[in-house]
Amino acid sequence: MSKNKEFTNNLDLTKEEVKRRYIELSNRYCFPNGATVKATKQLKGMPSYRTIINHFGSFTALKQACGYTRIHMLKGRFTKAELLMLLKKEYLKYNRRPTTKEINSNKELPNQASIKKFLGVRSLADVWIRIEKKL
Q: Which of 9-13, 97-101, 108-112 has the lowest mean pLDDT?
A: 9-13
Q: What is the mean pLDDT of the chain?
A: 81
Q: pLDDT by residue (tens digit) across 10-63?
A: 657 889 999 999 998 888 877 777 888 888 888 777 888 888 888 999 888 898
User: Which has more pLDDT, 7 or 62?
Assistant: 62
**Is this model's pTM higher than 0.85 or not?**
no
DSSP at 35? -
Domain-wise residue ranges, the chain: 15-65, 80-133
Type of residue found at 17: E
Measured torsion, CA atoms of residues 111, 105, 76, 61, in degrees rounded to the nearest 10? 90
